[in-house]
Amino acid sequence: MAQKKAHEVDSFITRPTSSFPVVLLYGPDKGLVSERARRYAEATRLPLDDPFTVIRMEADDIEADPARLADEAHTISMFGNQRLIWIKNALGQKKLADVVKQLASEPPHETYVLIEAGDLKKGASLRSAVENGSAGMALPCYADDARGIEDVIDSVLSEWKMQITLDARHLLRASLGGDRLATRGELEKLCLYARGKKRIDIDDVREAVGDVAGLSTDEIIDAMLMGNLPGLETAFDRLVKSGTHPFVVVSAAMRQFQQIQALRYTVDTERKPAATVIANAKPPIFFNRRRVMETVVSRWTAERISRALERIQRAVLESRMNDELKVPIIRQCLLALGIESARLRS
């Protein structure tokens, strides 16, 4: 089965190979799908503005006339050069999947087929057509995790030749991550706003950057950690209604409990007060969250933290296996952790 894990995608798209000329990029983060598709197209080194070399097609048009894709794929270039067929907005089109299945098993000569798709669950016809084809490669694009956000921040700051203070970086990271293109746009706006300064500071971030994730996940995570169930329900409902993928929240919850686990380990092994450990944490904990973290690290034992991480991991797996139920699965996980927090508080 030809597919890459999420952390392997970036390295693959920089080196297009004739072994896998049919490439499917799919996932809930449309901005990330689009950005990676562009990077893959650029890596082919084909002239992207040449309509005879790069053929751009819409998935719905192929669904209406599936023979069109097959004809284009098997057309030989007049000058004997490589070609790229770039398909956008694919999802559940059955006839498109049938043609792609054939191309992924019997690939055209000297032609790349690049497909941008939405969030395809396991077993979806288009995803299966690519994964099961000897010449197909399926590449998932999920919402940025902490490492992905850091990489985008570093990339944009490097392009603009700018630096940023540590506090500003923490606030910036907490405000990004809902959509890759929106994230990049907010970073470029910030760099433009702070142009002429030696270093971007926290006031620049507050003034220039909106919350790209729709709503900050901090509100949801803090309500869960403090056992504030009404606040958790309200904040989670608002986030879902904003269109933000709920995986963003459960991913943030996992990162938070991993950090709490490391802090609790220090408290237990070095026999230091939670406040001291929080104050000396590396990377530093943002000042407006220190009190919450002190409370949580004091209340949650290592055993309880391990059980919480196991529950979150199960929710991640179940939500990916049952896409239609992802919202209630993730909601139930967060509420269960919130109830545990409320019990510890009392």
Q: Are the C-beta atoms of 120 and 126 separated by less than 8 Å?
A: yes
d(CA 75, CA 68): 11
Give Cβ neighbours of residue 324 (< 8 Å, ≥ 6 apart): none
Q: What is the CA radius of gyration of the chain?
A: 23
Task: Identify the pLDDT of residue 215.
Answer: 43
Task: Identify the pLDDT of residue 260.
Answer: 93
What are the chain's domains?
6-140 (3.40.50.300), 146-208 (1.10.8.60), 217-345 (1.20.272.10)
Residue-wise pLDDT for 172-229, tens only, equals: 887 776 667 778 888 988 999 899 898 999 888 887 876 544 445 778 898 999 999 9
Task: Identify the pLDDT of residue 6.
Answer: 66
- pLDDT confidence band for 85 (50 / 70 / 90): very high
Which carries the bigger pLDDT value, residue 287 or residue 167? Answer: 167
The arithmetic mean of pLDDT across residues 65-94, rounded, is 86
Share of the chain above pLDDT 90, in %: 48
d(CA 24, CA 44): 15
- C-alpha distances in angstroms, 136 versus 28, 58, 101, 156, 234? 20, 19, 9, 32, 43
pTM of the predicted protein model:
0.53
Task: Identify the pLDDT of residue 249.
Answer: 87
- pLDDT confidence band for 63 (50 / 70 / 90): very high
- The mean pLDDT of the chain is 87
Task: Identify the pLDDT of residue 242.
Answer: 67
Task: Identify the pLDDT of residue 75.
Answer: 83
Enter the tokens of residue 275: 């406040």
